[in-house]
Amino acid sequence: MRRAQGRYFSPQEVSKIKYLLNTTDLTLEEISVRMDCAKSSIVSINRNFGIREYGGRRRYWVCSTAQDTTDAIEQQTDVISGAPN
**Per-residue model confidence as pLDDT tens for the chain (85 residues):** 556 666 888 999 999 999 999 999 899 999 999 999 989 899 999 999 999 887 655 555 566 655 554 454 455 445 444 555 5
Q: What is the model's pLDDT at position 77?
A: 47
Number of independent structural domains in the chain = 1
Q: What is the model's pLDDT at position 52?
A: 87
Query: CATH number for the domain including 73?
Result: 1.10.10
Domain boundaries, position 6: 2-81
Nearest to 8 by CA among 60, 44, 33, 58: 44
Q: What is the model's pLDDT at position 79?
A: 46
> 3 with 9: CB under 8 angstroms?
yes
Q: What is the DSSP string of 16-47?
A: HHHHHHHH----HHHHHHHHTS-HHHHHHHHH
Q: What is the model's pLDDT at position 73?
A: 46
